[in-house]
Amino acid sequence: MVTHFKVAGHLACGHHGNNLISSTELNRVKCRTCRNTEAYKEARRTQRNAARRVARKARAGHTANDWRSDWAQRLTDLPGLQRLPRGFGGQPFV
């Protein structure tokens, strides 16, 4: 059975009938005519852009780490006296 795309209470392709299956979930739509409408393409574009924004925001949180404090912590965790590189404070050893 073909699943149509429902927009504002109507089918995007313009078909009418009581026995037609419709969905607002984009991945379930199988009707080629519905998939080729501007309403479906705009909804798909909006969904894709929202997913990209979420991924970009999640990725930005990981790259904003302070690498100096991470490096100092890594050297602190090493056994023995490990020297800090120049510019990491007045301590000769960690």
Per-residue pLDDT reduced to its tens digit, 13-67: 989 888 999 999 999 999 999 999 999 999 999 999 999 999 988 877 655 567 7
Number of domains comprising the chain: 1
Question: How much is the pLDDT for 17?
Answer: 84
3 state DSSP class of 6: strand
What letter represents residue 60's amino acid?
Answer: A
Give the global pTM: 0.60
Residue 31 within any structural domain of the chain? yes
Residue 89 within any structural domain of the chain? no
Residue 47 within any structural domain of the chain? yes
Question: How much is the pLDDT for 71?
Answer: 77
Residue 22 within any structural domain of the chain? yes
Please give the residue that has the higher pLDDT: either 68 or 42: 42
- For 52, counting Cβ atoms within 10 Å of its Cβ (0-12 exposed, 13-18 middle, 19+ buried), the class is exposed
In angstroms, the CA 79 to CA 26 distance is 55
